[in-house]
Amino acid sequence: MNIQNYINGNFHNPIKDNWLDNYNPSNGEIYSQIPNSSKEDVENAYIAAKAAFPGWSQTTLDERSRIMLKVSELIEANLDKLAEAESKDNGKPVWLAKAVDIPRASSNFRFFSNAITQFASESHESVGQQAINYTLRQPIGVVGCISPWNLPLYLFTWKIAPAIAAGNCVVAKPSEVTPMTAYLLGEICNEAGLPKGVLNIVHGLGTSTGQAIVEHSDIKAISFTGGTATGAHIARTAAPMFKKLSLELGGKNPNIIFADCDYEEMLKTTVRSSFANQGQICLCGSRIFVEESIYDQFKTDFVQRVKNMKVGHPSDEKTKVGALVSKQHLEKVLSYIDIAKEEGGKVLYGGKQLIIDGYENGYYMKPTIIEVKTDECRVNQEEIFGPVVTIMPFSNEDEVLQMANKVKYGLSATLWTNDLKRTMRMTNQLQAGIVWVNTWLMRDLRTPFGGVKDSGVGREGGFEALRFFTETKNVCIKY
């Protein structure tokens, strides 16, 4: 089948008739073609968005909210279809897409349909000067949203929903590796009655289609989620054009375990924070630091739990670890196992590709635990973004804090302890945009989301996202 671009409410082939193969990671087969859109396709998407902007930006909040709620409901109504499409494109277990990805895509629309009705502007009375200032938050115009392959519809809608809620029109590009659910979203938007041109979806490579969006002189804001190197490249292009930029980038997150934690809860959650979605979540705790008094016990128990995780076809309900997203990605992840061995790391479990009967060409590997001697080795410093974690012991709070912070990234951190004072000391000093204490990936969509250092610039989520997608204008009236 052919996936098409969604422009002005209609589905189109790419103008230059360039196509890319789309693979099913569970069996390595090509199952669809996607447009590799050119500048001209992006221009058409822009023209449609620009034409829709005057109407959409003046649509009442009630009406915007009503349409977005309808999109949310239709995503929910299509749960099975979307979850199966997501799994086929990405390799993740179908049950996971059903439990997390698709419900969250629906929540993104529902959340921002409500949030926009509560998004207030400020006023400041200049007392004694007979003047009042009020602050308008106006939509920017046409904005660009670019998303990665790990949580395809989840992250695509995380950007699109606040952008359109705030009154903007959008040119969006999903990852070329996982385009299918974004394609299906176009149909849903039409059925929900989203006016033509409010959302336009162009497919293609980052270096061609994505680059054309970033370079477009009239697309005034870019919300990007993806790798740190891509983010830096986008910033180099967009900054001299004075675009608003939100960059949600890579991570190499510490999972810090103190002996006084609730051990069973920690163990269960650590298995999840290590290997959920094949370890392909920017928030996964891929560096595990364990207080030395419980290190040996943890090592034995963790390896045992991970051994019991079934690696298998994504449609099997018992599968805990599905297929990695692509052949190139599998090869990249496996290359880090060699690096680990060269650096003196010890593979405690996994470390190998797995061939599954009936799906011999799929991209499977065992969840992998590497015991490292030093936190400074490459496997502990570089983002692998697969089912690979490192573990090592620590002796005290200062030491682990230093190791936790000694990476270029600063997206999230997880802390396991029941000591309140330690919690306060550590959470204050951890260099991360998000710190979880005695939990992981617990999300409240009102909270700010983003990273420090090389993990990104800006915050999304809640009103932060609505602030990003609006321009602030202060009006001062003397009376």
Q: What percentage of the chain's residues is helix, strand, coil (to nearest 5)?
A: 40, 25, 35
Residues in Cβ contact with 393 at an 8 Å cutoff, skipping those fewer than 6 apart: 289, 290, 291, 292, 295
**Inter-residue long-range contacts of 227-235, CB under 8 Å, 24+ positions, other chains counted:** 227/148, 227/383, 228/383, 228/408, 228/409, 228/454, 228/455, 230/206, 231/456, 234/146, 235/457
Minimum CB distance to ligand NAD smaller for 152 or for 167: 152
Can you give the length of the chain in residues? 479
Residue 233 engages ligand NAD in binding (rule: CB under 6 A)? yes
Return the active site residues. Answer: 248, 282
| Residue 386 or 393 with smaller CB distance to ligand NAD | 386
Choice from 93, 152, 186, 206 touching ligand NAD (CB under 6 A): 206
Q: Which of 14, 25, 250, 312 binds ligand NAD (CB under 6 A)?
A: 250
Nearer to ligand NAD, 25 or 393 (CB): 25
Q: What's the closest the beta carbon of residue 379 comes to ligand NAD, in angstroms?
A: 16
To the nearest whole angstrom, how small is the minimum distance from the Cβ of residue 73 to ligand NAD?
A: 26
| 249 lies in the binding site for ligand NAD (CB under 6 A) | yes
Please, what's the b/e burial string for 229-264 (b: 16 or more CB within 10 A of its CB; e: otherwise)? ebbebbbeebeeeebbbbbbbbbbbbbbbbeebeee
Over the window 341 to 380, marking each residue x when it contacts ligand NAD by CB under 6 A and - when it does not, the resulting string is ----------------------------------------
Q: Which of 18, 87, 175, 431 binds ligand NAD (CB under 6 A)?
A: 175
Closest CB to ligand NAD among 150 and 270?
Answer: 150
- Residue 388's nearest CA partner among 440, 352, 438, 430 is 352
Ranges within 403-462 binding ligand NAD (CB under 6 A): 411, 451, 456
Residues 13, 211, 353, 405: which binds ligand NAD (CB under 6 A)?
A: 211
Number of residues that bind ligand NAD (CB under 6 A): 30
Confirm if 35 and 27 have CB atoms less than 8 A apart: no
**Choice from 139, 162, 226, 350 touching ligand NAD (CB under 6 A):** 226
- Phi, psi dihedrals of residue 286, rounded to the nearest 5°: -90, -10
Interface with ligand NAD, residue 386, by CB under 6 A: no
90 binds ligand NAD (CB under 6 A): no
Query: Which residue of the chain is nearest ligand NAD when measured via CB?
Result: 206
CB of 117 to ligand NAD, least distance (A): 26
Rounded to a whole number of angstroms, the minimum distance from the CB of residue 206 to ligand NAD is 2
Minimum separation from the CB atom of position 148 to ligand NAD (A): 3
Is position 286 an interface residue for ligand NAD (rule: CB under 6 A)? no
140 to 169: interface string for ligand NAD, x by CB under 6 A: ------xxxxx----x--------------
DSSP letter for each residue of 200-258: EE--S-IIIIIHHHHH-TT--EEEEES-HHHHHHHHHHHGGGT-EEEEE-----EEEE-
- List contacts with ligand NAD (CB under 6 A): 146-150, 155, 173, 175-176, 206-207, 210-211, 214, 225-227, 230, 233-234, 248-251, 282, 383, 385, 411, 451, 456
